[in-house]
Amino acid sequence: MRRSALLLIALAFFWVIIIIGREELGLKGVITSIAIWFALLFGCRMLGLSVYSFIALQLFFDIILVLIIFGGDVKFGP
């Protein structure tokens, strides 16, 4: 898969999470999440990390957002 396609998939997943969780996060939480996303992008660019590192960090941030938004509703395992 091309790098640009991977970036678009990760970006789309991030925005879906933001849209679904906008009531739970509130305006301040949404703005903070977007600011963290830009900080990750800027940090990876400044440190010279690969695109794949940024995608991995973004997906880790997405998992954290899912846990914040859905809280105890997410069950792991049987």
**Chain centre to alpha carbon of residue 18:** 9
What pLDDT is recorded for position 1? 64
Is the pLDDT at 3 greater than 80? The verdict is no
Count of domains observed in the chain: 1
Model confidence pLDDT, tens digit, residues 5-28? 878 888 888 899 899 888 888 899
**Chain centre to alpha carbon of residue 46:** 19
What pLDDT is recorded for position 73? 65
The answer as to whether 15 is a domain residue is yes
Burial of 18-40, coded b for 16+ CB within 10 Å and e otherwise, reads: beebeeebeeebbeebeeebeeb
The answer as to whether 76 is a domain residue is no
Give me the residue label for tokens 């396609």: 5
Range of the domain at 20: 3-70
The answer as to whether 77 is a domain residue is no
Give me the residue label for tokens 């879906």: 16
The answer as to whether 75 is a domain residue is no
The answer as to whether 28 is a domain residue is yes
Is this prediction's pTM over 0.85? no
In angstroms, the CA 18 to CA 20 distance is: 6
* Structure token digits, residue 14: 């991030």
Q: How confident is the model at residue 74 (pLDDT cuts 50, 70, 90)?
A: low
